[in-house]
């Protein structure tokens, strides 16, 4: 397994880049207080909108807050929101998908229609509506994203289960006296998980974008919380004045985060697919 992984990395520089970028984010999360001496939320009005310099590597925003410090600390907030949302969606979506795939009937159809209802809304508009109802808290943004992602995981798992439940090994398990619970969780789930695991990295990237987007339009977290979308938004007003640094650096951080999860998603897909894994 380890050899396969090493061989894969040696042949796929994209995956290496993805891991390196993820590593940078992990470092930012773990060592933020040691990476900057500035507070990410303390205003210094007299240092307002200073361009990048040795004192402020990424410059300062309108309130005089150090953008480098805010970009570093924002990694915690953005990834916390995104990973929490995806984790919750995975934990709920996978069993639900398993159940509605295994037990086809009225309840299963009803659940699918509920998912259709959720997914028929433009995801961003629904996100804005839910956040405005629940309040602009970090955890609320996470919960909203989780609600949006649950149908994705459930659908992926259900599709797999619908195919797997007709396979001979399921019939064999049933003949040997296995209960439904045992069949679902011991026999079907391990075989159905692969696409859901690939979906995780795609969803994390999407969650990062949605979090940033919600904050950009004022429906995400509150000022002065360090959050990339909020930072891009607060800098957008200054672009016309030639102040480019307020939006640029958090914008790059979003690109790096989303790109890293996209590349890792590709890697997960390749490694979990026996046909492509063996070829590579």
Partner 1 sequence: MLGTVSTGLLDLGRRVLVPSRSMAHAPRLTFAGLLAGGIGAGLVAALLAAPLPARAQDAKTTLVVAAPRTPESLDQEYPPTEAGHEVRRNVNERLLGYAQKKGDDGILYEDFTTIVGVLAESYELSPDKKSITFKLRKGVKSYNGNELNADTVMWSFERGWNMKSNFHWYMTQIFKIEDPKVAFTKVDDYTVKVSIPNPSPLLDRIWINSDLGILDATEVKKHLTPEDPWGARWLSTNTASFGPYQITKYTPGQEVVYDANPNYWRGPARLKRVILREMPTSANRVAALQAGSVDVAEYLLPRELALLSKVPGVTVYKVFGNFIHRVEMNNAKPPFDNLKVRQAVNYLVPREEILKSVYFNTARFTKSPISEIYPAFTDEYFFFNNDPAKAKELLKEAGFPEGFKTQLAYRTGDQIEEEIAVILKSAFAKGGIDVELLKLPASTLVERYTKGEVPMYFFRDMAIVPDAAYVANLWLNSASAINYSKFKSDEVDALINAGLTSTDEAKRVADMKRVQQITMEGAPWVFLMNPGYQLATRANVKGYSWYTPNGNAFYDMYKE
Q: How far is the CB of 82 from partner 1 (least distance, A)?
A: 22
Footprint of partner 1 on this chain (CB under 8 A)? 41-46, 48-49, 62-65, 136, 218, 222-224, 234, 236-241
Q: How far is the CB of 171 from partner 1 (least distance, A)?
A: 58
Residue 40 or 101: the one with the smaller Cβ distance to partner 1 is: 40
Residue 151 or 224: the one with the smaller Cβ distance to partner 1 is: 224
Rounded Cα–Cα distance for residues 49 and 31 (Å): 26
Q: How far is the CB of 240 from partner 1 (least distance, A)?
A: 5
Q: How far is the CB of 52 from partner 1 (least distance, A)?
A: 18
Q: How far is the CB of 183 from partner 1 (least distance, A)?
A: 50
Residue 175 or 240: the one with the smaller Cβ distance to partner 1 is: 240
Residue 86 or 221: the one with the smaller Cβ distance to partner 1 is: 221
Residue 97 or 224: the one with the smaller Cβ distance to partner 1 is: 224
């Amino acid at each position: 397994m380890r050899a396969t992984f090493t061989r894969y990395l040696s042949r796929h520089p994209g995956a290496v880049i993805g891991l390196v970028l993820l590593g940078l984010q992990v470092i930012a999360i773990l060592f933020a207080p040691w990476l900057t001496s500035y507070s990410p939320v303390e205003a210094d009005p007299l240092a307002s909108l200073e361009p990048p310099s040795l004192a402020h590597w990424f410059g300062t925003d309108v309130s005089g807050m150090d953008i480098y410090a805010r970009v570093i600390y924002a990694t915690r907030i953005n990834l916390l929101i995104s990973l929490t949302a995806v984790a919750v969606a995975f934990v709920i979506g996978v069993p639900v998908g398993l159940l509605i795939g295994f037990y086809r009937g009225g309840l299963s159809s009803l659940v699918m229609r509920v998912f259709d209802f959720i997914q028929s809304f433009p995801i961003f508009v629904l996100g804005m509506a839910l956040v405005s109802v629940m309040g602009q808290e970090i955890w609320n943004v996470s919960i909203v994203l989780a609600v949006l992602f649950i149908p994705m995981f459930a659908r992926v798992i259900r599709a797999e289960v619908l195919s797997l439940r007709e396979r001979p090994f399921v019939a064999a398990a049933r003949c040997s006296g296995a209960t439904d619970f045992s069949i679902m969780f011991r026999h079907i789930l391990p075989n159905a998980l692969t696409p859901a695991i690939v979906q995780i990295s795609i969803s994390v990237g999407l969650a990062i974008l949605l979090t940033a987007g919600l904050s950009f339009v004022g429906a995400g977290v509150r000022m002065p919380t360090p959050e990339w979308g909020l930072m891009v938004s607060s800098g957008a007003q200054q672009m016309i004045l030639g102040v480019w640094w307020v939006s640029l650096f958090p914008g790059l951080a979003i690109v790096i985060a989303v790109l890293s999860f996209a590349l890792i998603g590709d890697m997960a897909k390749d490694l979990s697919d026996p046909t492509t894994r063996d070829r590579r």
